C-alpha cells in the first residue's frame, strides 16, 4: 500500500538551495523516526484545554511524564504490530521514548519501505539524505503508524539575518528593558525556575560569546553569563548567528533565570533536528517551563499526518505545563502559486498550530527613540489552512474580520483557520555577539521570540514564588485577559502592514495592524509590570 501523504514532507522536488548529489546505496543504514499511533488523543486535547483555561477546574493541574505516558502510550496491539514488522525486516537497533509513541531506528530503509529511493542533497556545508518518492508499508500497519520521519522533509534555513540597512542605534537589552518597563529588580530569583531555547542544523552558541555580550550589554541588571545545561550535542565549530541571538536575548529578558539549550545539529544525514527536539521533550521528566523556538516551514509543504501528530506533541507539552513559543516567520503573509496560477497567502507551521504561542515582530516608528512600535513588515501572520480557529480566539478574530477597514480578497486566506500571531515584540536591528564579534542590524522574529519567552519566564518566577503553578500553554489566559476589555498589559500596535504576494491584486501587501488583535502583531507587545499583575491574578 502506497502512502504518499505519510512522508513528513510531501514528496517531490527539494526546496530551493538543496542540490542533488547522487543516489545512495540501497543498503546504506539510515536513522528514521517512527511515529506510533497514540491512544486517547481526544482526551489529550480535552486535558490540554482544561489545564490551560483559567475558567476550568483543571487549570494548572499539570500531568507528570509518567501520567502522560499512561494516557497516550500506543495500544498493546499497535506496539506488537510495529515490533513484528520491524523484527521481520531484521531491524533490531531501535530506541523508544518514555511515552512509547516514537521509535528511532537504524534501518536499511529501502528494504523496510519499498518505493523509497534515497538520494543525497547538499546545501553549502550541509548534506542530507532524503527520498523524492513515496514509500510503501504493509496495509495492516495503516492504523498503527502516523508517519515515518527522515524520508522527505528538508531542514529549514535559519531565520535571523544580519542586514546592512540605514543608520540605527540598534536594539540592546537596555533598550528592550526600557521599552517593556523592566527595572533592574526584574530578574529571576528561584532555583526551580528555568527557560530554554532550541538550536538546529549545526547552529551552535558559544559560552564566550554570551559572556562578552553580557559584559557589553548586561551591566545594568543582574544576569547569568553561562548556560546551565546543554541537552544534546554542542559542536565546536563557529557559532551560528541564530543560536547566538536566541541565547543572548532569552537570558537578557529572562535575566538571572537558569537557561538550557537544546542542541539538535542534525549531523546524521537522515536525522530531522526538529523531530529530535520533540523526542527529547517526550523523554525527559524534568524540563524548563518555557521554550523559545525560532523554526518554521511552509504549512502546505508538510503532510497532513505530520501536521496533526506534531500538533498532538504540543498538546502533550501543554498538559505538562510547558509554555512553547514559536517565531511567526519573516515572510509576512507568505505567498504561494497554485497549479492554475492563482496566488494565495502561505501560512507557516508550527506558527499555525493552535497549541503554541506565536510571536510576531515590530519596529520602532522613530529609530532613534524608545517609543511607539509599528509593524515590522516581515512579521509572519495569517490563517492556517489546516487547523480550524480555536475557541479561545474566536471572538478576537471575528472582531478583526468585521472591523478591519481593508482586508485582502477572501480567496487569499482561510478566514476560518487558526489565526496567528498571538503577540509580538521588537524584531528589528538587534545587536548580537557571535564568534566574539559584536554585530548590528540582526533582524527577524527569531529575535522577538526569545524576548517574549524570557518575559514569560520572569512571570513564572513570580508565580512560583507565590505558590501558583507555572503559566503553561499561554493562549487561553492571554485571549481571555484581553477580551475582558481594554488593558495596559500589552502595548497595542495599530500601525503598519506586512508583506505578501507581489501581484496586481494585493501589490505586496498582506494584513494590516489595527486596534486589539490582528494577524500581524497579535495583541501587541508586553508591558511587563501590568502583564505580571494580570497573570498573577489568573
**Using CA atoms, how far apart are residues 82 and 492, in angstroms rounded to an integer?**
51
3-state secondary structure of 317: helix
49 is catalytic: no
Single out the catalytic residue among 209, 212, 242, 248.
242
The b-or-e profile of 89-106 (16+ CB within 10 A means b, else e) is: eebeeeebbbbbbbbbbb
Residue 116 and residue 151 in contact, taking contact as beta carbons nearer than 8 Å = yes
Helix, strand or coil for residue 421?
coil
Angle between helices 475-483 and 41-52 (to 10 degrees): 50
Residues linked to residue 198 through DSSP beta bridges, in sequence order? 262
- Rounded CA separation 17/121 (Å): 9
Q: Residue 509: in which H helix or E strand, if any? A: strand 509-512
How many residues does this entry show for the chain?
A: 538
DSSP string computed for 32-82: EEEEEPPS-HHHHHHHHHHHH-TTSTTTT-PPPHHHHHHHHPPPHHHHHHH
Task: Quote the CA–CA distance of 487 and 400 in Å, as a whole number.
Answer: 17
Q: Is 115 left (phi over 0), alpha (psi -120 to 50) or beta?
A: left
Report the largest interatomic distance among the alpha carbons of the chain, rounded to a whole angstrom: 67
CB-CB contact of 360 with 379 (8 Å): yes
d(CA 510, CA 240) in angstroms, rounded, equals: 31
The x, y and z cell numbers of residue 153, run together, are: 522533509
> What is the rounded distance in angstroms from the CA atom of residue 379 to the CA atom of residue 387?
20
Angle at 62 between CA 61 and CA 63, to 5 degrees: 125
Q: Give the 3-state DSSP-derived string for 75-107, with helices as H, strands as E and coil as C.
A: CHHHHHHHHHHHHHCCCCCEEECCCCCEEEEEE
Catalytic residue of the set 49, 246, 422, 461: 246
Q: Pick the catalytic residue from 244, 282, 446, 448.
A: 446
Contact 525, 426 (CB under 8 A): yes
Supply the DSSP symbol for 13.
S
Report which of 247, 36, 235 is spatially closest to residue 125, judged by C-alpha positions. 235
Alpha carbon dihedral 52, 324, 105, 116, in 10-degree steps, equals 100
Is residue 246 flagged as an active site residue? yes
Catalytic center residues? 242, 246, 446
Amino acid at each position: 500500500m502506497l502512502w504518499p501523504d505519510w512522508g513528513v514532507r510531501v514528496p517531490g522536488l527539494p526546496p530551493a538551495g538543496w542540490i542533488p548529489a547522487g543516489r545512495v546505496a540501497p543498503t546504506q543504514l539510515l536513522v528514521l523516526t517512527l511515529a506510533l499511533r497514540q491512544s486517547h488523543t481526544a482526551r489529550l486535547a480535552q486535558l490540554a484545554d482544561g489545564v490551560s483555561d483559567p475558567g476550568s477546574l483543571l487549570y494548572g493541574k499539570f500531568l507528570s511524564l509518567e501520567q502522560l505516558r499512561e494516557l497516550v502510550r500506543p495500544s498493546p496491539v499497535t506496539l506488537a504490530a510495529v515490533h513484528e514488522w520491524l523484527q521481520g525486516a531484521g531491524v533490531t537497533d531501535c530506541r523508544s521514548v518514555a511515552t512509547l509513541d516514537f521509535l528511532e531506528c537504524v534501518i536499511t530503509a529501502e528494504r523496510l519501505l519499498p518505493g523509497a529511493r534515497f538520494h543525497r542533497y547538499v546545501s553549502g556545508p550541509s548534506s542530507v539524505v532524503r527520498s523524492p518518492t513515496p514509500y510503501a508499508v504493509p496495509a495492516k500497519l495503516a492504523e498503527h503508524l502516523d508517519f515515518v520521519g527522515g524520508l522527505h522533509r528538508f531542514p529549514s534555513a535559519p531565520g535571523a539575518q544580519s542586514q546592512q540597512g540605514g543608520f540605527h542605534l540598534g536594539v540592546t537589552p537596555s533598550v528592550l528593558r526600557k521599552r517593556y518597563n523592566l527595572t533592574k529588580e526584574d530578574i529571576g530569583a528561584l532555583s526551580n525556575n528555568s527557560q530554554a531555547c532550541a538550536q538546529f542544523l549545526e547552529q551552535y552558541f558559544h559560552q564566550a560569546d554570551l559572556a562578552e555580550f553580557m559584559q557589553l550589554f548586561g551591566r545594568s541588571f543582574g544576569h547569568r553569563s553561562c548556560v546551565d545545561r546543554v541537552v544534546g550535542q554542542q559542536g565546536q565549530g563557529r557559532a551560528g548567528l541564530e543560536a547566538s541571538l536566541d541565547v543572548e536575548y532569552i537570558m537578557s529578558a529572562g535575566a538571572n533565570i537558569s537557561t538550557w539549550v537544546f542542541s539538535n545539529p542534525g549531523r546524521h544525514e537522515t536525522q530531522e533536528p526538529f523531530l529530535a527536539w520533540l523526542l527529547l521533550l517526550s523523554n525527559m521528566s524534568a524540563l524548563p517551563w518555557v521554550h523559545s523556538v525560532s523554526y518554521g516551514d511552509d504549512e502546505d509543504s508538510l503532510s497532513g499526518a505530520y501536521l496533526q501528530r506534531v500538533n498532538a506533541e504540543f498538546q502533550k507539552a501543554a498538559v505538562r505545563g510547558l509554555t512553547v513559543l514559536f517565531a511567526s516567520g519573516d515572510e509576512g503573509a507568505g505567498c504561494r502559486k497554485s497549479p492554475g496560477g492563482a496566488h494565495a497567502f502561505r501560512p507557516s507551521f508550527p506558527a499555525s498550530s493552535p497549541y503554541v504561542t506565536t510571536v510576531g515582530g515590530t519596529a520602532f516608528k522613530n529609530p532613534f527613540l524608545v517609543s511607539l512600535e509599528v509593524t515590522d513588515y516581515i512579521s509572519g501572520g495569517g490563517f492556517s489552512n489546516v487547523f480550524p480557529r480555536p475557541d479561545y480566539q474566536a471572538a478576537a478574530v471575528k472582531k478583526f474580520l468585521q472591523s478591519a477597514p481593508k482586508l485582502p480578497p477572501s480567496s487569499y486566506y482561510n478566514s476560518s483557520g487558526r489565526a496567528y500571531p498571538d503577540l509580538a515584540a521588537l524584531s528589528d536591528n538587534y545587536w548580537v555577539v557571535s564568534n566574539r564579534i559584536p554585530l548590528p542590524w540582526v533582524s527577524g522574529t527569531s529575535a522577538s521570540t526569545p524576548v517574549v519567552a524570557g518575559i514569560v519566564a520572569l512571570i513564572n518566577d513570580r508565580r512560583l514564588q507565590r505558590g501558583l503553578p507555572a503559566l503553561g500553554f499561554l493562549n487561553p489566559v492571554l485571549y481571555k485577559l484581553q477580551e475582558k476589555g481594554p488593558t495596559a498589559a500589552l502595548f497595542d500596535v495599530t500601525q503598519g502592514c506586512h508583506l505578501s504576494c507581489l501581484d496586481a491584486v494585493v501589490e505586496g501587501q498582506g494584513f494590516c495592524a489595527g486596534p486589539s488583535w490582528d494577524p500581524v502583531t497579535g495583541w501587541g507587545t508586553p508591558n511587563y509590570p501590568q502583564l505580571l499583575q494580570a497573570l498573577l491574578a489568573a
